[in-house]
Amino acid sequence: MYPYFSKWIRGHRDLPLRLNQWCNVVRWQSSHPTPFIRSHEYLWQEGHTAFATKEEAEDEVLDISELYRSIYEEYLAVPVTTGRKSEIEKFAGALYTTTVEAFIPNIGHGIQGAAAHCLGNNFAEAFEINFENMKGKTEKVWQNSWAFSTRAIGVMIMVHGDDKGLVFPPKVAPIQVVVIPMSYSEDADAKVIFEACAATVKNLVEACIRVEADIREHYSSDWKCSNWELKGVPLRIEIHPKDLANDQVRVVRRDSGAKTDIPLANIVDHVKDVLADIQQNLFDVAKQKRDDCVEIAETWDEFVNALNRKKVVLAPWCDEEAVEKDVKARTVENMSSIKTICSPLEQPELTKEEKAAGTRILIDGRTCLLQVLWSFIYPLRMVFYRQIFVLISFWRSKL
């Protein structure tokens, strides 16, 4: 689209120009595709923008990074780190790349969740994207590009999924609540239970809660409960004749398995509260697991030892390509390879003495003030295939 930028943009009144697109991308260079994480074809959202000044472009990069962070943390309940990529890892042709990085504690692997690139004038030079400023002089535009893809689904599955199957955060769950009639023996019980299920669904739908009742025949209630656990529905409501006799129902959480009996009279308010608590709890648990995997290394031995234990390592950094290549070369035999995840935008606070003295980088002992996260490149494929198959079967069942 950049050849058209040069036609659309003539003067400063044409700026900023901001385009957003949703499209499928095909990349055949992936030799070992993994569903959602690294596949040959995937859906992504991509933005391309042009500004009159560098300051405007840099402000947008930070705004977009914050937007992507909020999607991961506030909707997918996945804790992420916002930072800047190293010169080696940044997007080719960009001045710099900011990134949103997640970490999968079970396998000790950092994974890029989204990115925003400050392209500077590089593409404006190549495609002759010029504009006339307010003083009548010709200048090059400042450009950005940013993208977010269906990889986010894979990250969410890997962070929250367990041996029982998927675990959906309520805000993005296709079905937030499932209502299941429990075992009954008489026709009268069946009628009462089904009427209670229908009334419960009606009340929840009116409260804008995504709910479904499982009234399928020839399936036991225990099988239904296990089936919906497998599909990751956040909350299950079980309706049993004995509970109805006491004007109550049982709710079961997918995240913790906790069971609570609640009165039918305030079921809507209770369900809303529980869904909000599940959303927060999923994030808190994931963040605690992530934080437990972050270790600070001040020596090379500490660095290697932490990576071998599937940790993400925060270490001093000079932001030089030669040093990063040296670290990768030293670890390629024993650990396949490692890479810098990012240099966090929020750096650890230093005392006056630490700022004055600096910290020593791992390779040659020079001092620096910047910290960077390193992660072991670990194979992803076999870890979550089972959960992906569950997700695919779930979607097929909804068609």
Most distant CA pair in the chain: distance in Å? 87
Q: Is pLDDT larger for residue 338 or for residue 79?
A: 79
Indicate whether 29 pLDDT > 70.
no
State pLDDT tens for residues 348-397: 776 666 665 666 666 666 777 788 899 875 444 444 444 444 555 555 55
pLDDT given at position 386: 46
Please state the rounded mean pLDDT for residues 265-280: 96
pLDDT given at position 334: 64
Cα-based distances in Å from 289 to 106, 255, 283, 293, 324: 9, 15, 10, 7, 27
Q: What percent of the chain has pLDDT over 90?
A: 58
pLDDT given at position 299: 84
Q: What percent of the chain has pLDDT over 70?
A: 86
Indicate whether 252 pLDDT > 60.
yes
Please state the rounded mean pLDDT for residues 204-210: 97
CA pair distance 252, 274, nearest whole angstrom: 10
* Cβ atoms within 10 Å of 121's Cβ, excluding its own: 16
- At 188, the amino acid letter reads A
State pLDDT tens for residues 311-321: 999 988 887 88
Please state the rounded mean pLDDT for residues 197-221: 94
State pLDDT tens for residues 151-184: 999 999 999 999 999 999 999 999 999 999 987 6
Please state the rounded mean pLDDT for residues 182-206: 84
Q: Is the dihedral of CA 265, 271, 277, 282 positive or negative?
A: positive
Indicate whether 304 pLDDT > 60.
yes
- At 241, the amino acid letter reads P
pLDDT given at position 97: 96
Indicate whether 335 pLDDT > 80.
no
State pLDDT tens for residues 97-133: 999 999 988 888 888 999 999 999 999 999 999 999 9
pLDDT given at position 236: 97
Q: pLDDT grade, residue 209 (50/70/90)?
A: very high
Indicate whether 260 pLDDT > 90.
yes
Walk me through the domains of the chain, giving residue ranges and CATH numbers: 2-160 (3.30.930.10), 177-277 (3.40.50.800), 294-376 (3.30.110.30)
In 231-384, where does DSSP find H-type helix? 241-245, 267-292, 300-308, 321-335, 352-357
Closest CA to 109 of 289, 295, 312: 312
**Whole-number average pLDDT of the chain:** 87
**Of the given ranges (32-36, 207-211, 217-221, 387-391), which has the lowest mean pLDDT?**
387-391
* Cβ atoms within 10 Å of 37's Cβ, excluding its own: 23
- Sheet of 211-213, strand order: 211-213, 177-181, 235-239, 248-253, 259-263
pLDDT given at position 381: 44
Please state the rounded mean pLDDT for residues 71-88: 96
Which residues have C-beta within 8 Å of that of residue 187, sequence separation ≥ 6?
none
pLDDT given at position 383: 42
Most confident of 24-33, 183-192, 251-260: 251-260
